[in-house]
Structure formats: C-alpha cells, structure tokens
A and B are shown apart, each in its own frame.
Chain A
Amino acid sequence: MVGSSDVEERLRTELDVQDLKVQELAGCGTSFALYIVSESFAGKRLLERHKLVNLALAPLMPHIHALSIKKAKTPEEEQGAAEKQKPPSQQQAAAM
C-alpha cells in the first residue's frame, strides 16, 4: 500500500523540490493530488514537467491509480504568482 509519505519522500529524493504538498484523494483506487514547486521544471513545458514527476514516481506507479498534478511550477513562477495575489496573511484570515 502506497501512502502520501512514500510519494513525498520519493519526490524529495528525485526532484529539486522547494515546496511540496501531497494529498491522498478519496475515490477510485489510491490517488494523490500533488502541488510541487521545483527548480527541475525550469525551461520545461507542462507535459514535460508531468513526465518528470511520473518518472520520479515510477517505482510506485504500479500501485497508484491516478495522480493529479495540480501545480508544477518553478520557484520564479511561484513567486510571480504570489505577488499578484493578496498577501498570505489576508488570504488565511479570509479562509477562517
């Protein structure tokens, strides 16, 4: 049985991860949602980024039903996106 900690450990080992969130999804089979910020994505298209993640998780894949890669960004892209949004403190306050 593959758990989110296995997925997280593998991604941290294989990719140059700056920020990572792994969520186990309910539904059909063992599924995970991933949010990854990594320098490894620099200069790569979305398909290539997803392939990189798939490759990193290759040994676990036979036991995984589906991966939903919600975010695959470089630290620069992530920073750019954050600056356009409200400050995090405000967002957290709004979510409470």
Chain B
Amino acid sequence: PAAPGAGLSPELREAIQQFITDNKIVAFIKGTKQFPSCGFSNTVVQILNNCGAPYVTVNVLEDELLRSGMKEFSQWPTFPQVYIDGEFFGGADILIAAYTSGELAEEVERAINN
C-alpha cells in the first residue's frame, strides 16, 4: 500500500478543489450515475435524483490516483463521498439522515441559490 500522502500531489489537490467549486453538488462514487456498482453509491444516486437539483458524479473506480487522493482530501476512508457547495457533506449514512430530516433539501437549496 502507498504511504500516507503519496496519493495527493499539489496539482491533484488543486484540481479536486477546482472541480468541487465549479460544481455545486458532486458525488464521488463507485460506478456511474446510470450504473452505480455498489449499493451505497446507488443509495446516494437515488437520493440526489429525488432532490431534483443538478449534480455530477465521478467514478473513482476509473482512476486509482483519484481514489486514494479523495480519501486523503476528504479525510474520509470510503466511498461514496458527497460534496455540496465545495464542502464535504458526508457519506451514504449522513446523506440518508439529512434526507430524512429535511436538512439535505435545505443545504441543496442554499447551494443552488448561492
């Protein structure tokens, strides 16, 4: 396994930062929006579909450097990872909890209007 920090060059860090700033809602998942390849990623896609706001997904299975880099960038060891308005929001469980409580709808609305 790679040493801690090995996956995240300054260039990659900057590219990730740019991407999550340019896109209001980003989900780093296993698989694609159309074909999530894991149940947890599928849950996140379904919830974001229900929110009705535009979002993009990034398939971390296609890029090992990004996959290890995102774990470090987010300080979060697993996928999916959801970013809203440039900030790490959480994984699947947090998204489910926020969706159920209505907090997610508020966050999404704030992000879209921001």
Contact = CB atoms under 8 A, between A and B. Distances in A.
Interface of A: 27-28, 46-47, 50-51, 54, 57-58, 61-62, 64-70
A61 B90 contact: no
B94 A46 contact: yes
Contacts, number: 44
Interface size class of B (residues with CB under 8 A): 10 to 19
A46 B97 contact: yes
Interface of B: 1, 37-40, 75-79, 88-94, 97-98
A47 B77 CA distance: 13
Main secondary structure of the interface of A (DSSP, over half): mixed
A54 B92 contact: no
A70 B78 contact: no
A63 to B, nearest CB: 10
Contact of A61 (B38, B77, B89, B94): B77
Contacts of A27: 38-39
Given A61-B77, A64-B77, 8 more contacts: A47-B90, A62-B1, A65-B78, A66-B40, A66-B92, A67-B78, A68-B92, A70-B93
Scoring A27, A66, A70 by chain B CB atoms within 10 A of each residue's CB, the highest score goes to A66
Chain A to chain B: the 3 pairs with minimum beta-carbon distance, closest first: A61-B77, A28-B38, A69-B93
